[in-house]
Structure formats: structure tokens, C-alpha cells
Structure 1
Amino acid sequence: MQYKHLFFDLDHTIWDFDKNAEETLNELYHTYKLMDLGLHSPDRFIEVYTHNNHQLWAEYHVGKITKQKLRETRFSKTFIDLGLSPNLIPQQFEDDYVNICPTKTNLFPKAHETLSYLKERYTLHLISNGFKESTELKVSNNGLNVYFENVVISEVVGFNKPDKAIFNHALTLANAGISESIMIGDSLEADIRGAQDYGMKAIYFNPERKEIPEDVDQEIACLSELMTIL
């Protein structure tokens, strides 16, 4: 099948969420002098936050929690898990993180090279479960807007991947048929199974080479592999 439209996820697929978050959290660890509050290891702080954040995003993907709940919980839970008294939790920490992190520019290897190559051959689109303001910052600050015809953001559309409605909206906006479209993303639930349930093919971005379930037809470990398989 000759595809015409490629739909990409953003966070954890093009934009290196964990690396950018780590940079931001290291800065904030020192800005807020968390060592003086008894949090003696920035690495442990980042580890606990990453675990909590991934878990909360998984719940947000499937509509179990709201954006507000996610943002209220991820740092408060992290600080409490690390033994900090609730009255000592820095109140501006979440706001500072939200303002700084989307300005970071760490992308996965070969992102620009791959997208530039694919743009000459296909029409590219983004479908992100991220929030409007942060997604737009990530796209513009990294010069990604030159590649994508449409940027579909779940908060704007009102549906999160894996809901069929967001895929339907994205393909309708692109004037793309299901059979001529393919989804590329890192989330088995949101990207791969979401696309498959809608009837689209999907490619699993799996840089950590995790064991894949039987329902995953195709995977890549580096974005550059797309230049040889598409």
C-alpha cells in the first residue's frame, strides 16, 4: 500500500519528553533548594516524578482524570511519596515546570532529518494528547511546524487518543482516507491500538526495544528507520 498521509505523535515520539523533563527538574531542584527540604537526591526526585507522571498520563489518555487533576497531583504526590510534609510543598513548582519544560529542545535522534525526508514524499500531520499551550510551544520552539500540515491537539478537539473521534477528526481535516494513512507513536494504548481500532495501520516507536505484543504489526527503534520502510 502506498501511503499518502503520515500521522505522528509528539511527546515520547519526536519530542524527547523524559530528557526535557529531566533537564527542567534538575534546574528546579536547585532553584527551589530541595536539598534543604530533605530531598537529597535529584535523581531520585526525577525517578519518582517520572513514574507518577507516566501513570497519571495513562489515566488521562483514557479519560479517567482531567487535565487539572493531572497537574494538581503529579508533583504533590511526588513530594509526599518522598516524605515531604504537604505544608512544605512549593506551590509554584508545577507552574514553573509547565512554563519551562515546553521550551526545551531535545528531540529523538534523526528527528529533523527524518521529517525533512518524509515531507518531500508524504503529507505529515501531528496528533497529540498534550495540552494546547505546551504543544504549540514544543512545535514552534523546535522548528517542527515546517513539517506538519495539521497539528491536532486533544485538548482543542475534546477527545484523547485512543478515542476514534480524534482519529476521525484528524483524517477529516487532512482529507485523508484510512487506507492511505498510517500512525506513528510510542503509546501502545493511545497511538497503536487507537489507530488500529479506527481501522488504520500503525508503527510502534519503541526506542527501548520493549517486548511487543502480538497485535503490533510493525515497530522501529529509531525514527530514521522510517526512511527505509516507508
Structure 2
Amino acid sequence: MQQNETQRPYKALFIDIDNTLLSFRPSAERAFRKTFDAMGITYEPSYYEVYYWLGDVLWTQQQRQLITVQEIHDTIFHRLLAALAIDADADAFGKIFHQQLHEEAVLEPEVLDTLTYLHQHYKLYVASNGILEMQHARLQVAGIRHFFTDLFVSDDIGAEKPAEAFFEEALRRSHLSPHEVLFIGDSLQADMVGALRGGIDRCWYNSHAAPTPESIPLTHVIQRLSELKSFL
């Protein structure tokens, strides 16, 4: 029996983008290969593994609030090309890569069906670290931008997840109280800890079936996005 709208637990859902709505690795790998072609540099598959490892290190530092998203964008390709001993313009490489990434968007499984369902019952908002223009473009390419009332992206919000200020500003812009929102995301530190700081309920999208941490209180844990339909 379907819930009455007045009985639904939330008014809105905040949803992360990368590795929640869009699969970052295949999207980025396509952009990465195209960047090497545009720069006239011979590509080796191992290069992407170095990039992915370096990105993982830097994003972990960002989630611990040791560096900013902008610092990642400013330095990652300088570090990458140095590590690969490739003599090329790192700033030009980064600019081309981000242009290419605007055009790449690989959906996570079950996104379209799940968003179609959720959109009927809730206001949906994106809540992402990154660049607003890029995230908007990628959602358009993926064909899912129309599901969202607004996009809350760190460079436009003026704060980055997991900082409490990010969630406070997202709530202010959406005219919602913390108890009216559920946050759905894949990152324990950026999404779950951040939402906890903001007093927002938390649904961890644990697609890789990782152990559930005892140190972070979670409202829901799902391995497939379609599981959201069972309680929303």
C-alpha cells in the first residue's frame, strides 16, 4: 500500500553526484584518454591508474578539510605529469581534461528509474563538491538535470562537504529544516559525516558492500539505488 504524501518521512532529498548518480571512473577515463589525444601525447592505460590513485589521495585530504577542491584542480595535473615524467603544459592539460569531462556522464545502475519514482514524491536537490558549470553540464548530458529543483555545488555554495557550512547554505537556499531532508551519497566522510554535522538524516549508498562503520551513525544503508523505493 502506497504511503500518503502527508505520511512521507521527508520533504526533500539531497543527492550526491559522483559515484552516486554518475559513475566517476568510466566518465573520467574517457575524458582522460581524449585529453592525451588532444595534447598529442601517447596514452598508456597505466597512466589513468596513476591519476586515479593520486586523485584518491587528494580527495581524501579534502574530505579531512586539509585542502580545498580548487587546490586539487590546481595541482593534480602538475603532480601527475611529473610522476609520469611527461614534459607537457599541466595547466593546458587540466583545462582540456575539464572541458572533456563536461561531456562525459556514465549513470550509476538504476538511476533513471529511481529518480523517476522519487521525483513524484519529493523535491530533489544535488549536493556535490566540484564546479557548478561542470556538474550542470554532466547532468544534462546524462539526461537527468530536469529531475532536480536546484544544484548545490561547492564552488557556488562557498563551502565544501563535509563542512557544516555547506549543509547550512543548502538548507537555507532550499528553505528546508534539517529534519525535512534525507542526504543520499556514497562518501562516508564527505556525505555521511557532513550530513551528520548538519543534523540531516543519512542514507549511505554502499554499492561495493564495504563494512558498515560503527563510528558513523547512519539512518539507512543501501547497496542498490532501487532500495530507496522501499522506504521513501
Q: Same fold (TM over 0.5)?
A: yes
Q: Is the Cα–Cα contact under 8 Å of residues 12 and 181 in structure 2 kept in the other structure?
A: yes
Instruction: Identify the residue that residue 30 of structure 2 maps to in structure 1.
Output: 23
CA distance in 1 between counterparts of 2:48 and 2:211 reads: 25
Amino-acid identity (%): 29
Give the one of 82, 92, 95 matched to 1:80.
82
CA distance in 2 between counterparts of 1:66 and 1:197 reads: 19
Give the one of 3, 7, 14 matched to 2:14.
7
Aligned-residue Cα RMSD (Å) equals 1.9
CA positional deviation for 1:68: 4.2
CA distance in 1 between counterparts of 2:154 and 2:64 reads: 12
Distance 1:89 1:216, change over 3 A: farther
Instruction: Identify the residue that residue 88 of structure 2 maps to in structure 1.
Output: 89
State which drifts further: 88-97 or 2-11.
88-97
CA positional deviation for 1:216: 4.3
Instruction: Identify the residue that residue 203 of structure 1 maps to in structure 2.
Output: 203
Distance 1:211 1:103, change over 3 A: same
Q: Is the Cα–Cα contact under 8 Å of residues 15 and 106 in structure 1 kept in the other structure?
A: yes
Q: Is the Cα–Cα contact under 8 Å of residues 69 and 130 in structure 2 kept in the other structure?
A: no
CA distance in 1 between counterparts of 2:70 and 2:130 reads: 13
CA positional deviation for 1:219: 1.6
Instruction: Identify the residue that residue 103 of structure 2 maps to in structure 1.
Output: 103
Q: How many residues align?
A: 222
Gaps of 5+ in 1: none
Q: Is the Cα–Cα contact under 8 Å of residues 76 and 89 in structure 1 kept in the other structure?
A: no
Query: 1:47 is aligned with what amino acid?
Result: E
Whether 1:118 and 2:136 are equivalent positions in the alignment is no
CA distance in 2 between counterparts of 1:67 and 1:3 reads: 30
Q: Is the Cα–Cα contact under 8 Å of residues 182 and 202 in structure 1 kept in the other structure?
A: yes
Instruction: Identify the residue that residue 3 of structure 2 maps to in structure 1.
Output: none
State which drifts further: 11-20 or 63-72.
63-72
- SS at 1:103 equivalent: coil
Instruction: Identify the residue that residue 185 of structure 2 maps to in structure 1.
Output: 185
CA distance in 2 between counterparts of 1:46 and 1:197 reads: 34
CA distance in 2 between counterparts of 1:151 and 1:94 reads: 24
Instruction: Identify the residue that residue 48 of structure 1 maps to in structure 2.
Output: 50
Gaps of 5+ in 2: 1-7
CA distance in 2 between counterparts of 1:67 and 1:183 reads: 21
CA distance in 1 between counterparts of 2:166 and 2:192 reads: 13
Query: 1:219 is aligned with what amino acid?
Result: V
What pairs with 1:163-178 in structure 2 (closer than 5 Å)?
Answer: 163-178=163-178
CA distance in 2 between counterparts of 1:160 and 1:71 reads: 14
Instruction: Identify the residue that residue 160 of structure 1 maps to in structure 2.
Output: 160
CA distance in 1 between counterparts of 2:105 and 2:136 reads: 13
CA distance in 2 between counterparts of 1:26 and 1:73 reads: 19
Instruction: Identify the residue that residue 220 of structure 1 maps to in structure 2.
Output: 222
CA positional deviation for 1:175: 2.0
CA positional deviation for 1:7: 0.6
